């Protein structure tokens, strides 16, 4: 079996790598790995959790790769000049990308549920995993975020859940085109919008993915996804939408600061639903999850009862703490859709927003420049303040001609209020100095686990 072999993960602490390593280790594989974050002393608790699972960790200097019997797993972004890759070539170790390994496990399952879309993948994956687990179906879940429901003293970083080999639930990534590797039994498509690729490329990738499945659960409330639905067999399609007719429709939304209630209309019957996570976007996520688990055989009443207990994900509108009347929220928002959803959820309730947005890379920032600026201009209200430190940069050859300064310049030119503070610590300190009772400080960004530590530090700096 694939999961009984020897694996070495290059970048084992990454959000897509860590859960895969945990799944393979729990299934009896011999797992080791390296990470620049480990070498730099970043987020030591995460690496301690991996070691507690029996996973051997090495410096990222090639010393951990010693045999052609090891399969070396790395993301497509890892360059051939990295010492571990050089070592793998020297000893003749076979290589797999993270997506190839995950797709192999996914495609081998009797029932595979793949969650796709530009936004909401991790949340829908967590919701589906939670419902299937609560209804006794023992799924294996591969997520890109920590699922709060499954966190325990021996699982502090629960981005994976290891259940049976028969049921595999995973978000699937379009950013590198690897979505094409997956052959789902049940496909979920949340939305289609600009992020890492052009819309033309995304339409082809998502359309092909949806067409492979026995059942496709699709959001017709999203114009791009709805257009893709026209090419699918209606007998294999389950539609969902907020405030419009669909197979699963949400009506009468009532938003709370950290929850939301709605009426679910399905099969001409209405069912009250309450979520312990906020926002209109999470209502759409819940419809996607309920549609998927129904296709997997879960009765609607059981799905509704289970989803009420979904506690959310870390770094998804995650209330870190409050001090002096100021709330601090940690959020994964990094593309226009995600950022817009978070800002809309926050502005459903009174209070000024002080936003620290750390772009997740120079390449994506250049790709999304216009849409990102438009999102902040429309999503921020009078009196809100946006501060951008420099983007995440962990080495490599990416062009850095569009950075945070250019984004801030565009926002100011459009009449918005924004500030470029290159150093992230100084950017956070600026927001703390500006904060007053009733404000919400929001830390936004991706690809950097230390943002959560920054958010915690902001709470500690606020006057009590």
Interval 90-129: pLDDT, tens: 999 999 999 999 999 999 999 999 999 988 999 999 999 9
pLDDT of residue 199: 77
- Listing DSSP states for 113-141 in one string gives EEEESSSSHHHHHHHHHHHHHHTT---EE
pLDDT of residue 38: 94
Rounded CA gap, 210 and 146, in Å?
26
The packing angle between helices 450-461 and 424-434, to 10°, is: 30
pLDDT of residue 397: 62
**Helix (H/G/I), strand (E/B), else coil: 245:** coil
**Tens digit of pLDDT for each residue in 37-89?**
899 898 899 999 999 999 999 999 999 999 999 999 997 778 889 999 999 99
pLDDT of residue 367: 83
Average pLDDT score over residue span 276-301: 97
Q: Is 162 left (phi over 0), alpha (psi -120 to 50) or beta?
A: beta
Rounded CA gap, 179 and 177, in Å?
5
- Greatest CA separation for the chain: 63
pLDDT of residue 1: 56
pLDDT of residue 293: 98
Residue 94 CB coordination number (10 Å): 12
Q: Is 394 left (phi over 0), alpha (psi -120 to 50) or beta?
A: alpha
pLDDT of residue 116: 94
Closest of 136, 130, 100, 99 to residue 292, by C-alpha: 130
Residue 76 has phi, psi (to 5 degrees) of: -65, -20
pLDDT at 393 over 90: no
The pairing of beta strand 248-256 with beta strand 259-266: antiparallel
Cross-strand bridge partners of residue 274: 261
Banded pLDDT at 194 (limits 50, 70, 90): low
pLDDT of residue 94: 96
What is the average pLDDT value for the chain, to the nearest integer? 93
Banded pLDDT at 380 (limits 50, 70, 90): very high
Give CA torsion, residues 322, 319, 389, 419, to 10 deg.
-60
pLDDT at 189 over 60: yes
Tokens encoding 227: 């257009």
Rounded CA gap, 106 and 109, in Å?
6
pLDDT at 433 over 90: yes
Q: Among the listed ranges 272-276, 302-306, 362-366, 403-407, which one has the minimum average pLDDT value?
A: 362-366
CB 287 within 8 A of CB 250: yes
pLDDT of residue 394: 66
The pairing of beta strand 111-116 with beta strand 95-97: unpaired
pLDDT of residue 2: 65
pLDDT of residue 197: 64
Average pLDDT score over residue span 208-218: 96
CB 62 within 8 A of CB 70: no
CB 429 within 8 A of CB 400: no
């Amino acid at each position: 079996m694939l999961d009984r072999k020897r694996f070495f993960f290059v970048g084992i602490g990454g959000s897509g790598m860590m859960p895969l390593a945990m799944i393979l280790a729990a299934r009896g594989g011999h797992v080791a790995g390296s990470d620049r974050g480990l070498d730099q002393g970043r987020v030591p608790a995460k690496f301690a959790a991996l070691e507690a699972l029996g996973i051997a960790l090495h410096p990222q200097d090639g010393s951990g790769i010693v045999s052609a019997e090891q399969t070396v797993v790395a993301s497509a972004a890892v360059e051939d000049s990295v010492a571990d890759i050089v070592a793998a070539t020297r000893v003749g170790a076979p290589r797999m990308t993270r997506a190839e390994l995950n797709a192999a496990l996914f495609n081998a399952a009797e029932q595979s549920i793949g969650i796709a879309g530009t936004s909401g993948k991790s949340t829908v994956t967590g919701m589906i995993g939670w419902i299937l687990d609560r209804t006794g179906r023992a799924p294996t879940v591969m997520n890109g975020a920590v699922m709060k429901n499954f966190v325990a003293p021996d699982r502090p970083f629960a981005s994976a859940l290891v259940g049976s080999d028969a049921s595999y639930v995973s978000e699937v990534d379009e950013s590198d085109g690897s979505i094409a590797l997956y052959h789902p039994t049940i496909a979920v498509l949340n939305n289609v919008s600009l992020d890492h690729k052009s819309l033309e490329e995304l339409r082809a990738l998502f359309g092909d993915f949806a067409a492979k499945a026995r059942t496709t659960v699709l959001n017709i409330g999203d114009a791009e996804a709805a257009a893709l639905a026209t090419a699918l067999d209606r007998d294999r399609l389950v539609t969902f939408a907020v405030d419009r007719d669909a197979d699963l429709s949400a009506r009468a939304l009532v938003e709370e600061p950290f929850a939301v209630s709605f009426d679910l209309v399905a099969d001409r019957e209405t069912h009250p639903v309450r979520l312990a996570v906020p926002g209109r976007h999470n209502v759409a996520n819940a419809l996607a999850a309920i549609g998927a688990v129904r296709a997997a055989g879960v009765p609607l009443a059981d799905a509704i009862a289970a989803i009420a207990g979904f506690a959310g994900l870390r770094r998804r509108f995650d209330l870190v703490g409050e001090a002096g009347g100021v709330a601090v929220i940690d959020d994964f928002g990094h593309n226009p859709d995600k950022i817009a959803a978070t800002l809309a959820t926050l502005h459903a309730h009174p209070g000024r927003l002080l936003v620290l947005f750390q772009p997740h890379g120079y390449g994506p920032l250049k790709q999304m420049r216009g849409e990102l600026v438009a999102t902040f201009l429309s999503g921020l209200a009078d009196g809100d303040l946006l501060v951008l430190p420099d983007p995440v940069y962990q080495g490599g050859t990416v062009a850095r001609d569009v950075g945070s300064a250019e984004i801030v310049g565009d926002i100011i030119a459009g009449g918005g209020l924004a500030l470029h503070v290159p150093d992230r610590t100084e950017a956070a300190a600026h927001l703390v100095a500006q904060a007053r009772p009733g404000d919400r400080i929001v830390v936004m960004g991706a690809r950097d686990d230390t943002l959560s530590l920054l958010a915690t530090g902001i709470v500690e700096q606020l006057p009590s």
